[in-house]
Structure 1
Amino acid sequence: MFFDDERSNRLRPQILTELVSQYMNDAERARFYGLPESTRVRERVKIISPENLTIGEHCWIGEGAALDASGGLEIGEHTSIGLNTLIFTHSSWLANMTLQNHSGSDLIERKPVKIGKGCFIGGLVVIMAGVTIGDFATVQPNSVVAKDVPPRSLVAGNPARVFQKYDDEYIQSEVERVRGENARRRALAEERGDASSSWGAPAGDFTE
């Protein structure tokens, strides 16, 4: 049933690793992959060539994300990668075009991807090989990132382009807005006798 060749024996440990990891919680899964203890890795995440992945503290990888680190992948601290997001660091395009898409083809191209610290990468995003995403950047869901993203910018679309730039003053105003609104919601929840969340905002309708 199982092949006993070099390629099969090389791939099988990775397959078994992914299978075993499905029975772990997000913190256990991160530790199992040798990632920082503060990083959380959700279900069905696939990491290709994990030995080439460098990731910072307090990162979050969403369900079903595929991280191709075969060409080198760096993710900064406090960055979130949305569910079902695809990050590529290699391409077989030329091998396909020349009918040389066989195992071991020398037409596979690899380029590293670098994602800065404090980034928010939405769900269903595609990041192409060779892209650098600057610190504190936001990539909206369903975007295709084929070019570098400047720091402190919001990009969206296919191909993704810059829609907004933000500075420390804007971020601080948003921090104050969200914390104020969350405090209001928690106070209303307590008045109603609802169980209050220990972090963030309680769920429910809090319109006045």
Structure 2
Amino acid sequence: MSIVQTIKSNERLKKFVHWCLIPKHQARPRLWVQWFVNPFFHKKGKGSTVCHRTRMDVLPFQPFSLGNYSTIEDFATVNNGVGPVHIGNNSRIGIGNVIIGPVNIGNNVILAQNIVLSGLNHVYTDIQTPIYLQPVTTATITIEDDCWIGANAVLTAGVTIGKHSVVAGGAVVTKNIPPYSVAVGNPARVIKQYNAETQQWENVGK
């Protein structure tokens, strides 16, 4: 049995290891994890930048990767506690973004300011138990290559934004957006799509 399997199979040992990595009731890893452990587990590409005031709540037991020449701006938060976070090449994570895995972001993606991507949901169905003590569910958010997500947008767990699509500022995406589309509103709906035959962006019916 591997060390990881041994830890997972022993609840007391699992809790102790978790405490060693993260202070109780916190999401941010301890400094020794940030400085001496994460660099050996996580991938940071050539020319990529994580700005000084970014909050990186990333842990070694889940993957995190940042592609070549990509940037995570100040005041953003990245959390891989319950699911991996992968960011491709030449992508920009804007000021104040919150990214909670599992999340996959492609290449050449622009995320504007104060966007929330959360692949996590809390179970709330047991009314005798506080919600924070109930289990969580996860579903991967995927943003394909060449997308632009406007400021203050929210992407909910499990949605996919198709290649070269635009999500307008303030939109709340609860369903998949097809490639080459423009989506607006709450809940987000597609209002334009690119027609390959006419080579034009065309309005979609109301």
TM-score interval for Structure 1 and Structure 2 normalised by the shorter chain: 0.5 to 0.7
* Corresponding residue pairs, total: 156
SS at match of 2:200: helix
Q: Does 1:54 align with 2:70?
A: no
Aligned partner letter, 2:164:
F
**Kept after mapping to 1: 8 A contact 2:68/2:88:** no
Q: For 1:67-82, list aligned pairs within 5 A.
A: 67-69=99-101, 72-82=102-112
Of residues 114, 125, 130, the one that matches 1:84 is 114
The structure whose residues are more often strand, as a share, is 2
* CA distance 1:81–1:13, shift in 2 (3 Å): same
Aligned partner letter, 2:159:
V
Aligned partner letter, 1:68:
I
> TM-score of the superposition, structure 2-length normalised?
0.65
1:8 alignment partner in structure 2: 23
Of residues 13, 25, 43, the one that matches 2:74 is 43
1:156 alignment partner in structure 2: 184
Alpha-carbon shift at residue 12 of structure 1 (Å) = 4.2
Runs of 5+ unmatched residues, structure 1: 18-25, 172-208
SS at match of 1:83: coil
2:154 alignment partner in structure 1: 126
Cα distance in 1, alignment partners of residues 187 and 104 from structure 2: 22
**Kept after mapping to 1: 8 A contact 2:105/2:145:** yes
* CA distance 1:98–1:139, shift in 2 (3 Å): farther
SS at match of 1:158: coil
Cα distance in 1, alignment partners of residues 184 and 109 from structure 2: 17
User: Which segments of structure 1 move beyond 4 Å, counting only runs of 4 or more?
Assistant: 14-17, 95-98
SS at match of 2:142: strand
The structure whose residues are more often helix, as a share, is 1
* CA distance 1:167–1:79, shift in 2 (3 Å): farther
**Percent identical residues:** 23
Cα distance in 2, alignment partners of residues 14 and 49 from structure 1: 14
Question: For each residue in 1:106-159, what CA deviation from the matched residue of structure 2 results, as whole angstroms up to 9, or x when unmatched?
Answer: 3x1111111111101001000000111111110000000001101100000000
1:143 alignment partner in structure 2: 171
Cα distance in 2, alignment partners of residues 111 and 97 from structure 1: 24
Greater C-alpha Rg:
1
Cα distance in 1, alignment partners of residues 118 and 30 from structure 2: 18
Q: Does 1:64 align with 2:121?
A: no
Cα distance in 1, alignment partners of residues 184 and 66 from structure 2: 29
Q: Does 1:29 align with 2:50?
A: yes
Q: CA RMSD in A?
A: 3.1
Q: For 1:102-113, list aligned pairs within 5 A.
A: 102-103=132-133, 105-106=134-135, 108-113=136-141
* CA distance 1:115–1:34, shift in 2 (3 Å): closer
Runs of 5+ unmatched residues, structure 2: 1-15, 35-46, 57-63, 202-206
